């Protein structure tokens, strides 16, 4: 299964730690986190506590994450409107969803309390650690979770913070979690004794990843997205270029692994002072990925080599070439950090996925139901293509039915034609209302779900606009038949459709 690299391969990839940056001193500090129940924020709360801070926080409403924090001794309140803050608070951290006019943020500013965004606080926590930041338009959460699981099973005991939940990151290996607390020093490998590994996904939204100064970084893809923030693809590329320039210099062990194709690598890496390597399926990539498909319903095999030398090979439990690439990138990063390739390969072979990333929820009435977070045209196309190839519903008289909720009017409008092309592998597409997050009322008036449906129908795709979710569930109950595959996709609450459909088909009540 494995061809291990020689010691010299490890030697020429050796990253240093980021100890040249002053550590974030938190001992004895009293921290208050607004939006503490978020996946990343709840992980940050635990990280701050582990570094000696006293932590409390607030959120809009109770959730599993806030319940877990309360059990661990973190005081969580749900009255943000009053603007109440602890009297002796030293630092207030706000999630990306918190606006400046939030009453608790206003109170902190008026009292002269230091305030940081989530990204700013996480960036400071990376100081004094062997920090790893995973960036890219797609694949960040999955690759971060893969890398976290691989490094854990390889004995490097990393701290992991990811914007999605993964059962294998949980303390018991079965309870989904988006955070794992690791060691203060790397316990094994050629970096043993160096400051502990802290790995996190680096989101480009609002240029938040510019707060990170990682030792090791990756960029999996660079495409037009968040155009309500950036305006143009050129501005997106420029933001990734600035991120690449913030990776530690090669003289301090800085290293960037970037996709050989699809990441504008020449423009992005221009001016970077770190060592740069590419990864991809192309023969010219420094890290060469190969993916052998084993036929419908069976796992494919991923092989990774570096400069022509075999590194590792493993079966992958998740469908699709994009998942094969994600796992290969995780392997390349893990080996760079000193993990033994055979242990990494075993971990990747055992990796069971991340919630809402091509996640098989189950089968009901002969219909397989998948839930997926994809909300960008490339992600939609990759997921539907993977399911068409892996499940092959057409071979048993079934169809691939997709319920897709667009996320943001601005994204839908800017990428409308790309979205229209991305559903070619679906037989039926059902589109609810666009999920509204931060767009203006003017932006909302410029595009609707019906516009996407019209584009799809012009391309010969059977598409319809339905709402509310209950009506979609009723339509699915009437239309789905044995052999079908149902993919529910989007970054908003559309996941409820998948769970409600399965519950209704079983005669149960589904969680809202």
* Cα angle for residues 367, 511, 465 (degrees, 5° grid): 60
The DSSP letter of residue 165 is: E
Residues 367 and 456 in one domain: yes
pLDDT range class, residue 13, cuts 50, 70, 90? low
The whole-chain average pLDDT of the chain stands at 90
Residues 381 and 342 in one domain: no
Summarised one tens digit per residue, pLDDT across range 183-203 is 999 998 888 999 999 999 999
| CATH number, position 276 | 3.40.1190.10
Residues 305 and 417 in one domain: no
Range of the domain at 428: 359-505
Residues 248 and 99 in one domain: no
Longest CA span, the chain: 66
The burial of 350, by beta-carbon neighbours within 10 Å (0-12 exposed, 13-18 middle, 19 or more buried), is given as: middle
Domain total for the chain?
3
The DSSP letter of residue 492 is: S
Q: Which two three-digit tokens encode residue 241?
A: 């270029």
Q: Which two three-digit tokens encode residue 177?
A: 């979690």
In Å, how far are 193, 457, 485 from 428, measured between CA atoms? 55, 10, 11
Instruction: Write down the pLDDT at residue 324.
Output: 95
Q: Which two three-digit tokens encode residue 100?
A: 């400046």
DSSP-derived secondary structure for 77-141 = E---TT----TT--EEEE-TT--TT-HHHHHHHHTT-EEEEHHHHHHHHTTTSEEEEEE-SS-HH
Residue 7 in any domain: the answer is: no
Could you say which of 333, 350, 367 is where a domain stops?
350
Summarised one tens digit per residue, pLDDT across range 21-32 is 667 888 889 999
| pLDDT higher at 16 or 231 | 231
Could you say which of 307, 326, 350 is where a domain stops?
350
| pLDDT higher at 4 or 446 | 446
Residues 368 and 276 in one domain: no
Residues 378 and 433 in one domain: yes
Residue 10 in any domain: the answer is: no
Residues 343 and 386 in one domain: no
What DSSP element (H or E) covers 430? strand 428-431
Summarised one tens digit per residue, pLDDT across range 92-105 is 999 988 989 999 99
CA-CA distance, 25 to 31, in Å (whole number)? 12
In Å, how far are 6, 215, 293 from 236, measured between CA atoms? 38, 22, 33
Summarised one tens digit per residue, pLDDT across range 21-73 is 667 888 889 999 999 998 889 999 999 999 999 999 999 899 888 999 999 99
Number of neighbouring beta carbons within 10 Å of residue 367: 22
Does residue 169 surpass a pLDDT of 90?
Answer: no
Instruction: Write down the pLDDT at residue 178.
Output: 84
Could you say which of 90, 118, 146 is where a domain stops?
118
Residues 435 and 308 in one domain: no
**E-only strand ranges, 281-404:** 287-292, 300-306, 309-316, 359-364, 367-372, 400-404
Mean pLDDT of 247-270: 95
Residue 24 in any domain: the answer is: no
Residue 9 in any domain: the answer is: no
Residues 306 and 375 in one domain: no
In Å, how far are 85, 420, 490 from 318, measured between CA atoms? 45, 26, 19
Residues 258 and 395 in one domain: no
Instruction: Write down the pLDDT at residue 380.
Output: 92
CA-CA distance, 38 to 43, in Å (whole number)? 8
Residue 434 in any domain: the answer is: yes
Quick check: pTM over 0.85? yes
pLDDT range class, residue 284, cuts 50, 70, 90? very high
CA-CA distance, 212 to 177, in Å (whole number)? 23
Residues 135 and 113 in one domain: no
């Amino acid at each position: 299964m494995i061809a291990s690299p020689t010691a010299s391969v490890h030697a020429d990839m050796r990253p240093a730690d980021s100890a040249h940056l002053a550590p974030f001193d938190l001992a004895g500090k009293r921290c208050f986190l607004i939006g503490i129940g978020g996946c990343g924020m709840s992980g940050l709360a635990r990280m701050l506590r582990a570094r000696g801070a006293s932590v409390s926080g607030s959120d809009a409403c109770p959730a599993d994450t806030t319940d877990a924090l309360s059990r661990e001794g973190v005081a969580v309140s749900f009255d943000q409107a009053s603007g109440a803050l602890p009297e002796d608070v030293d630092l207030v951290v706000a999630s990306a969803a918190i606006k400046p006019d939030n009453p608790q943020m206003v109170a902190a500013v008026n009292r002269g309390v230091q305030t940081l965004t989530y990204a700013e606080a996480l960036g400071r926590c990376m100081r004094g650690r062997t920090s790893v930041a995973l960036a890219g338009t797609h694949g960040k959460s999955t690759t971060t979770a893969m890398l976290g699981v691989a490094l854990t099973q390889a004995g490097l005991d990393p701290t992991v913070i990811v914007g999605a939940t993964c059962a294998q990151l949980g303390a018991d290996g079965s309870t989904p979690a988006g955070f794992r607390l690791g060691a203060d020093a790397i316990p094994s490998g050629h970096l043993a004794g160096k400051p502990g590994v802290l790995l996190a996904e680096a989101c480009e939204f609002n240029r938040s990843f510019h707060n990170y100064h990682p030792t090791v970084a990756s960029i999996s893809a660079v495409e037009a997205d968040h155009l309500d923030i950036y305006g143009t693809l050129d501005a997106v590329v420029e933001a990734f270029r600035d991120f690449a320039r913030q990776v530690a210099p090669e003289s301090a062990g800085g290293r960037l692994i970037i996709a050989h194709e699809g990441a504008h690598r020449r423009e992005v890496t221009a001016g970077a002072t770190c060592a740069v390597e590419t990864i991809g399926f192309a023969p010219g990539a420094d890290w060469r990925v190969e993916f052998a498909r084993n036929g419908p319903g069976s796992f494919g095999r991923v092989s990774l080599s570096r400069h022509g030398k075999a590194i590792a090979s493993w079966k992958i439990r998740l469908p699709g070439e994009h998942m094969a690439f994600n796992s290969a990138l995780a392997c390349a990063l893990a080996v760079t950090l000193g993990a033994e390739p055979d242990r990494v390969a075993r971990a990747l072979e055992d990796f069971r996925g991340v919630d809402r990333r091509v996640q098989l929820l189950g089968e009901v009435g002969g219909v397989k139901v998948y839930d997926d977070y994809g909300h960008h045209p490339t992600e939609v196309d990759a997921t539907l293509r993977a399911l068409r190839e892996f499940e092959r519903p057409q071979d048993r008289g079934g169809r691939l039915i997709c319920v897709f909720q667009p996320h943001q009017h601005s994204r839908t409008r800017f990428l409308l034609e790309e979205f229209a092309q991305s559903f070619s592998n679906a037989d039926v597409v059902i589109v609810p209302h666009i999920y509204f997050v931060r767009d203006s009322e003017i932006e909302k008036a410029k595009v609707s779900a019906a516009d996407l449906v019209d584009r799809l129908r012009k391309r010969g795709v059977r598409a319809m606009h339905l709402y509310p979710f209950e009506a979609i569930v009723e339509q699915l109950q009437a239309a789905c038949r044995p052999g079908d595959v149902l993919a529910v996709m989007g970054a908003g609450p559309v996941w409820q459709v998948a769970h409600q459909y399965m519950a209704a088909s079983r005669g149960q009540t589904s969680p809202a």
